[in-house]
Amino acid sequence: MSPASAAGPPGMTTPQTHTLETVGAVVTYDVRPGSSAEPPLLLIGSPMAASGFDSLAARFPDRPVVTCDPRGAERSRRTDGAAESTPEEHADDLSRLIATLGAGPVDVFASSGGAVNALVLVARHPEQVRTLVAHEPPAVQLLPDREPALAACRHVHETYRRAGFGAGMAEFIRLVMHPGPVTDDYVEQPGPDPAAFGLPVGDDGSRDDVLLAQNLVSCTHHEYDLDALRRASTRVVAAVGEGSAGQLAHRGGLALAERLGTTAVVFPGDHGSFLDSDYGPPADVDEVAARLREVLAGDRDTVPAGG
C-alpha cells in the first residue's frame, strides 16, 4: 500500500490517497478521517470513480469515509490485460480493501454497478459489512422482463463494438431512461442519434471504454446469490430514487427488495443526481446525505420506506 497526498474540494477534509495491489489490478482509494469511533463508511460506484462521491463524502465529516476507483476506472488500472471486469473481481477488490483498512465491519453506500459489486461482497463476506445500502442496482436478472432487457444490454455493447463510443453511449442512455418494461421488439427499433445527446457522431476507433466495454454486460448479466444474501448477517437495504421511477435501475432496486422480502427505501433525487459531475454541484446531495444518515441509524425492522 503506497500513500500519496490528494486535495479535496474546499471545505472538506483532505483525503489521504493510497494504492492497493489486488489480483489483476492496482486499486486507488481515498480515506477521509472522521471525528468519531464509527466504522468507515464506503461510498462506491461502478464504473463511477471516487471523484463522483466528493460532495457526498463531505457531508460525513464525523466519521471516516472511504472512496475508491474501481479497477479499470480513472486512477485504478488492470494489470492482467483483461478486456472485461466482473462483479466477482470488483467484490474481491472491495474485500481486500476492507481488510486493509483493518477497522472491522464497515457500512457501505453503493450505487448502480457499485451496488451489484457490493451485493457480491456481502454474499461472500458478510462479516465485513455491517449495513449495505444498495442504491438502484441494475439487477436485470431479477426483472420479469429479464430476457428482452438482457438482450437490450447486449445490444448496447454490440453497438459500441460495431460503431464506437457515440453510438454505443446513445443506446445506453436510451435504455437506462426507458420507462417501464423492455419489450421483445426493443432492439429492432431505430437507434438514437448520438448528436441529440451531445455525443460524438464519428468513431475514434477505441474499444476500451470502462462502461461500454469493460463492465456493462458482466454487471447487468450477474446472477445473484439470493439465499446467501438472505442468510447474511449484514443488514441489506435496497434503495431507489424517487425521480427515477420506472427506469431500469430503479426497477432493479424494487426487484431486489422483493426477492429479499423487504421494502425498498426511497431516496431523494434520481439515479445519479447526488453525484459530482462536469455539470455543476449535485442537486440532491444534501437530501441524499440526510436520508442515508437515517437509514444507517435505523434498525433492520424500522427503516422507513417512504421519501
The pLDDT tens digits for 170-194 are 999 999 999 999 999 999 999 999 9
- For the chain, the average pLDDT equals 92
* Confidence (pLDDT) at 13: 64
- CA nearest neighbour of 32 among 1, 58, 51: 58
Placement of cell 483493518 in the chain: 102
* Confidence (pLDDT) at 300: 39
Eight-state DSSP code of residue 224:
P
- Kindly state the percentage of the chain with pLDDT values over 90: 88
Contact 73, 210 (CB under 8 A): yes
Distance CA 160, CA 176 (A): 15
* Confidence (pLDDT) at 299: 53
* Confidence (pLDDT) at 70: 98
Interval 79-101: pLDDT, tens: 999 999 999 999 999 999 999 99
Inform me whether the pLDDT recorded for 304 exceeds 70.
no
Inform me whether the pLDDT recorded for 278 exceeds 90.
no
Alpha carbon distances (Å) from 190 to 159, 174, 181: 12, 11, 18
Q: Which residues contact residue 107 at a Cβ distance below 8 angstroms, ignoring those fewer than 6 apart?
A: 39, 40, 41, 42, 129, 130, 131, 132, 133, 296
Inform me whether the pLDDT recorded for 57 exceeds 50.
yes
> What are the structural domains of the chain?
2-139+222-297 (3.40.50.1820), 146-217 (no CATH)
How confident is the model over 283-293, as a mean pLDDT?
97
Inform me whether the pLDDT recorded for 277 exceeds 90.
no
- CA nearest neighbour of 67 among 104, 112, 24, 31: 31
CA 218 and chain centroid, separation: 13
Phi, psi of 212 (to 5 degrees): -70, -30
Contact 202, 170 (CB under 8 A): no
Interval 7-45: pLDDT, tens: 344 445 689 999 999 999 999 999 999 877 889 999 999
Inform me whether the pLDDT recorded for 49 exceeds 60.
yes
Identify any residues that bridge with 109 across adjacent strands, giving them in sequence order: 43, 133
Distance CA 221, CA 88 (A): 12
Distance CA 23, CA 78 (A): 9
